[in-house]
A and B are shown apart, each in its own frame.
Chain A
Amino acid sequence: KAGVTQTPRYLIKTRGQQVTLSCSPISGHRSVSWYQQTPGQGLQFLFEYFSETQRNKGNFPGRFSGRQFSNSRSEMNVSTLELGDSALYLCASSDAGSYNEQFFGPGTRLTVL
């Protein structure tokens, strides 16, 4: 099976702009979660989507949003970018079973100038 794919792998934006990141989960996986990783805060949960519905949300401002499509692909959007949004954004894929194992994609490295 192919793994989780994320595009683009690298992005450079300026403050105030918005950005959209994409994630394709492992085939058959219906749950997609997003995480932010920074040197200072570590890995933090952003939100989870399952069957096109946001099921859980972390403690991030409303500038961070996401959605999931019927084919389980997911996008996350960050509006009005701030310097502190520079991070590695990771998408994790999981199947519908109860054991919650999540498999990460390679990530998108976002740099905000």
Chain B
Amino acid sequence: QKEVEQNSGPLSVPEGAIASLNCTYSDRGSQSFFWYRQYSGKSPELIMSIYSNGDKEDGRFTAQLNKASQYVSLLIRDSQPSDSATYLCAVNRYTGRRALTFGSGTRLQVQP
């Protein structure tokens, strides 16, 4: 079992729709959770971080965390073609340390 699992996609959604990206993790002791966006040929860009159960909203993005189910999700509202990228879920198992474990990423395609 992989430590952080994501559906590789591609996830295809029409412009203006809600894109829902999911991630599960295996270590119950995981402390912090992140979503990165990576365009082809570029480095990952941090778009959301979440540390406690519930929802966290930032603009068109909402991260959801359910530690009991070991599940993290990212919702992108009003999806735009510029949102087309690979979305990486990352988990930090250690408080105070910066050793992220990444999922393999979900490729999102937003169709104009």
Which residues does A use to contact B, with CB under 8 Å?
31, 33, 35, 42-45, 48, 55-56, 58, 88, 90, 92, 94, 98-107
CA distance A99 to B99 in the complex (A): 12
CB of B7, distance to nearest CB on chain A (Å)? 14
Known: A58-B99, A102-B98. Contact between A42 and B43, CB under 8 A?
no
CA distance A100 to B105 in the complex (A): 20
> Judging by beta carbons under 8 Å apart, are B102 and A48 in contact?
no
**Interface secondary structure of A, over-half rule:** strand
> Judging by beta carbons under 8 Å apart, are A98 and B98 in contact?
no
Determine the interface band of chain B, counting residues with CB < 8 A from chain A: 20 to 34
Interface residues of B in 58-104 (CB under 8 A from A): 88, 90, 92, 94-104
> Judging by beta carbons under 8 Å apart, are B99 and A31 in contact?
no
Known: A100-B92, A101-B46, A103-B46. Contact between A42 and B105, CB under 8 A?
yes
> Judging by beta carbons under 8 Å apart, are B102 and A94 in contact?
no
23 A/B residue pairs, CB under 8 Å, sorted by A: A31-B98, A33-B100, A42-B103, A45-B100, A48-B97, A56-B94, A88-B43, A90-B43, A94-B98, A99-B32, A100-B32, A100-B92, A100-B97, A100-B98, A101-B46, A101-B49, A102-B46, A102-B98, A102-B100, A103-B46, A104-B44, A104-B45, A104-B46
